[in-house]
Amino acid sequence: MFDTCFLMLPGQRKLDIFKQIREKLGQFETIVPSPVMAELEFLASSDTNARIGLQILEQKEFQMIASEMNADSSVVQIAIKLKARVASTDQLVRKKARLAGLKLVSLRQGNYIILE
């Protein structure tokens, strides 16, 4: 389950987040809540990092799940339902995910994807 800030990492840090995650997890399904996609599309009009994240995401196979909640809440709530990992650098999202017992995909030292 990807949040907006995590999908912007390829532009910000020049990282291939999908490759690093695949190296650690093997094959995985990319899931993006609809509010995250909407947020990314909105930011892409003025933010290069969002535009890069959107372009990379559109080249991948991904599942978009509809949600009426805001982006952060939808990431956590859908991840709970699907028992999915949460990929986020947002401290509040990470805290909510941990409290819900979810596993995380995180960034360490600015360049390394780790699993928690």
How do residues 80-103 score in pLDDT, each as one tens digit?
A: 999 999 999 999 999 999 999 999
* CB contact set of 24 (below 8 Å; sequence gap of 6+): 113, 114, 115
1-8: average pLDDT: 96
| Alpha helix segments (H runs only) across the chain | 4-7, 9-13, 17-25, 34-44, 48-59, 71-82, 91-99
Look at domain 4-115 and name its CATH class: alpha beta
pTM: 0.92
Note the pLDDT tens digit of each residue in 36-85: 999 999 999 999 999 999 999 999 999 999 999 999 999 999 999 999 99
pLDDT at 107: 92
Judging by DSSP bridges, how do beta strands 63-65 and 86-87 pair with one another? unpaired
Domain boundaries along the sequence of the chain: 4-115
pLDDT at 111: 87
pLDDT category, 110, cuts 50, 70, 90? confident
pLDDT at 73: 96
